[in-house]
Chains A and B, each alone.
Chain A
Amino acid sequence: MPKLSVIIAEESFLIRKGLLSLLLEFPSIGRISESTNEEALLEKLDKEYYTICFINPSLLTAQGIKKIEEKNLRRSRVMVAILPSGSSDKAQMKHFAESITLDQGKSQLVKKIDGLFTQFVKSQPDYENSSGLSKREKIILRHIALGYTNKEIGEKLFISTHTVVTHRKNITRKIGIKTVSGLTVYAIFNKIVEMDEIRKSR
C-alpha cells in the first residue's frame, strides 16, 4: 500500500505537535508537513500532494478556501477540520469532509483517523492489486535484472526513458526494494528471470 502524506495547518504549537505525535503512530503515514498560517499552507499544497489535510478553519480566509477547493477539483484531498472543544461549526463544515475536536480522547481520535485512511485507500483504483506487479512492470523488472539501463530498456520496449523511470518508481513502491541488486534478487525469487540468463548477460 502506498504511504499517505498528511499536512497539518494549525497556529497553536501544542495542538500541532500533539496531532503530529498522534499521527506518527500510524504506520500508513509516510510524510507529515506542518504550517502555521494560510499562506504557508497554500504554498505547500502547491508544491506537493497531500492526501489528508488537517486544518484549523479559523486560519482560512474565503479566498483561501476557494483556492483549496480549486486544487481539490483536480485531485481530491480529504479535508479535516480541527475544531475547538465541543464545537460543530456548521457554516465552516461544508468545506470539510470530517472534523476532530480538541476534547476528543485518544481512542476517539484514532478511530476517526483510521476511518479516514480506510475510506481513502478503498477509493484508490489499484487497491486490490497493490502488492502484485503488473505484466508491464514485470517485463521492466526483468530488463533491470538483466543489467540494462533505463535508456536501453526504453529503446528495447519502444517507450520513453521517462516512462521507464515511472515504472521503476512504481515497482519500488509496490515491493519496497530500491537498489538494482535488490530488485535482481526479487526477480530471481519470483522467477521473473533465471540465474543463468543473468550470468550470460553480464
Chain B
Amino acid sequence: MADLIHMNYLLISVINRFGIQLGFENKTVEQVCKEHQIDTRFFLEIVNAFHNKEYFPDKNLQTFSIKLIVEYLLKTHRYYLEEKVPELEILIDKMVKECYSDAENIGVLIQFFTEYKNELATHTRREDEVVFPYALKIEEAYEHPKNRKDLIAELRKYSMRDYMNEHDNIEEKLFDLKNIIIKYLPPPKNKTLCNTVLTELFNLEQDINDHSRIEEKVLAPKVVELEKKLISH
C-alpha cells in the first residue's frame, strides 16, 4: 500500500475517500482493504483509473454493482464539498488578503470561487438527490422484479440518456481560475501561498475530471444497459 502512495501521491486523497488513513506499515493493498472491508478488486480498478488515464477499465469497472459505484461517487462528492473546497476557500481568502493590496481588486477572486463552489454544490446535489437514487432504483428493479411496472413508466419520462445530455461541464470555471492566477494576477507578495493555491487547483481539477469520467463512462452506460434490459422484459 505504501508503494502505491510513493508511486503517485495524489492517490492519498483517493484512499482517504475509502476511509483509509496513512500509517499502514508494510501491509499489502489486500490486507488494508480487508481491514476496512473494501472490495479489493474495486479499489484497485478505481486507483488504476485515477492514476493512469490510458488505463481505463470501463469494462472491468462495469462488472461492479451500481451500488458500489454510487457509494464511491457519493464519497467523492462529500470529499469535494466538505474537505477540498473549504480548504481551498480558506487558502484563496488568505492569498487575496496576504498577497495583494486592496487597490488591486483581487477580492473578486473570492467572489468568483464562491460562485464556483455554489455551482459545484448544485451539480453534486442534483446527482445525489436525483441521478444516483434513480440509478439505484434501476438496479433494484432489475434484481427484484416486483415493482417494475411503475418504474418503467418513470423510466420513459426520465432516463439516463437525459442525464448524460445534461451532465454539464463544471471544470470550466476551475480552468478559468487557474488561468487568471497564472496569467493575470500581479506578482504576489507571498509566492509560496500563491503556488500552493495553484497546485491545489490543478489537483482538484484532475480529481474532478477523473470523477466525471467514472460517471460518464462507467455509471451511465451501465444504467443505460439495465434500462434496455428492463424495457425489453
Contact = CB atoms under 8 A, between A and B. Distances in A.
Interface of A: 175-179, 181-182, 184-186, 188-190, 195
B195 interface: no
Contacts of B180: 177, 182, 185-186, 189
Given A176-B183, A181-B115, A188 B176 contact: no
A178 B172 contact: yes
Given A185-B180, A186-B184, A189-B184, A179 B172 contact: yes
Contact of B108 (A175, A177, A178, A195): A195
A182 B180 CA distance: 8
A181 B180 CA distance: 11
A38 B132 CA distance: 47
B173 A179 contact: yes
Given A176-B183, A189-B184, A182 B177 contact: yes
Interface residues of B, number: 18
Interface of B: 104-106, 108-109, 112, 115-116, 172-173, 175-177, 179-180, 183-185
A185 B185 CA distance: 10
B173 A195 contact: no
Contacts of A175: 179, 183-184
Contacts of B112: 181-182, 184-185
Contact of B179 (A176, A181, A190): A176
B187 to A, nearest CB: 13
A188 B179 contact: no
A181 B173 contact: yes
